[in-house]
């Protein structure tokens, strides 16, 4: 068993949660500054890509990712909430994405996940709240990250779906069974209370939009989330 999975199994008491602010909640008129002002506290930047088809909203494309890449050295996760992600992998990789996450509902093929890795990015797989957890199992050995949507994708500011907690636990169990080094990320409705529940269930990375960018002090909000540990739950 790897060291990460050993710690996952026996309560990672000295490992803090990682925080990935979602720029979906940032001020779009100055994204460079918005990324910079969370950069010293954040572990990653979450970049939501929506096409108006897979979800009922339209957000950013590869050119915007390339522009914010110039303002941060942090890992950037391109979360592709789009119908045909395979046609955009090259462009997001070239634009500077560290992780490229595709939805199991759109494309969970091993070929797509392998292509992401070939492009020099880390592959992730995401699933919506209504999708059975078992849908990600075939992909687990080919990804670096599983993103559990804790709201219905498409818009920020939604409330955390509490049934997600059992889904996080199920995915953590699958990862342990296969002895894999795979991060579990949660996205949607994250605040200090819901983050405690998610980390306690086995989440590694907290995507926080409104909680961070709606705060008077985004760095302080991030640091409060990062202090969460398994032993504190």
Per-residue pLDDT, averaged over 29-56, amounts to 95
Q: How many CB atoms lie within 10 A of CB 105?
A: 16
**Structure confidence at residue 15 (pLDDT):** 58
Structure confidence at residue 157 (pLDDT):
73
pLDDT over 80 at 59, yes or no: yes
Q: Is 187 a catalytic residue?
A: yes
Residue 29, Cβ density class (10 Å: 0-12 exposed, 13-18 middle, ≥19 buried) = exposed
Query: Shortest CA distance to 189 belongs to which of 203, 205, 210?
Result: 210
pLDDT at 3: 36
pTM, full prediction: 0.91
User: Quick one: tokens of 65?
Assistant: 């990712």
The answer to whether 48 is a known catalytic residue is yes
- Residue that is written with structure tokens 């803090």 in the block: 16
Question: Which of 50-59, 155-164, 207-216 has the lowest average pLDDT?
Answer: 155-164
Diameter over CA atoms, the chain: 47
Mean pLDDT computed over 69-75:
95
CA atoms within 13 A on the CB side of 192: 8
Catalytic residue among 51, 107, 187, 204: 187
Tell me the pairing of strands 76-81 and 183-187: unpaired
CATH number at residue 59: 3.20.20.70
Q: Are 80 and 92 in contact (CB under 8 A)?
A: yes
Query: 13: exposed, middle or buried (C-beta count within 10 Å: 0-12, 13-18, 19+)?
Result: exposed
Distance CA 119, CA 132 (A): 29
How many domains would you assign to the chain?
Answer: 1
Do residues 157 and 127 make contact, with C-beta atoms less than 8 angstroms apart?
A: no
Cα separation, 106 vs 126, whole angstroms: 10
The string of pLDDT tens digits covering residues 176-210 is 999 999 999 999 999 999 999 999 999 999 999 99
The per-residue pLDDT for range 3-27, each reduced to its tens digit, is: 344 444 544 444 578 999 999 999 9
Residue 39: domain span: 3-232
Once rounded to an integer, what is the mean pLDDT over residues 225-229?
83
* Residue 189, both tokens: 């409705």
Identified catalytic residue from 48, 51, 107, 204: 48
Cα–Cα dist 196/213, whole Å: 19
User: Given pLDDT bands bounded at 50, 70 and 90, which one contains residue 158?
Assistant: confident
């Amino acid at each position: 068993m790897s060291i990460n999975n050993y710690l996952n199994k026996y309560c990672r008491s000295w490992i803090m949660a990682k925080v990935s602010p979602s720029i979906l909640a940032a001020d779009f008129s100055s994204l460079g500054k918005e990324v910079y002002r969370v950069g010293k506290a954040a572990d990653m930047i979450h970049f939501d890509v929506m096409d108006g088809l897979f979800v009922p909203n339209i957000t950013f494309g590869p050119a915007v990712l390339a522009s914010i890449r110039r303002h941060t050295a942090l890992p950037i996760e391109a979360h592709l909430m789009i119908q045909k992600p395979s046609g955009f992998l090259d462009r997001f990789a070239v634009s500077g994405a560290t992780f490229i996450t595709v939805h199991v509902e759109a494309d969970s093929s091993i070929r797509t996940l392998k292509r992401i890795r070939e492009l020099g990015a880390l592959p992730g797989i995401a699933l919506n709240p209504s999708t059975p957890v078992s849908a990600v199992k075939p992909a687990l050995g080919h990804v670096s990250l599983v993103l559990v949507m804790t709201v219905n994708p498409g818009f920020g500011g939604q409330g955390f779906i509490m049934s997600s907690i059992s889904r996080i636990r199920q995915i953590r169990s699958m990862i342990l069974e296969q002895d894999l080094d795979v991060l579990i990320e949660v996205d949607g409705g994250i605040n200090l209370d819901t983050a405690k529940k998610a980390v306690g269930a086995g989440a590694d990375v907290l995507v926080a939009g409104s909680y961070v960018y709606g705060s008077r002090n985004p760095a302080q909000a991030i640091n409060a989330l990062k202090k969460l540990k398994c032993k504190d739950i």
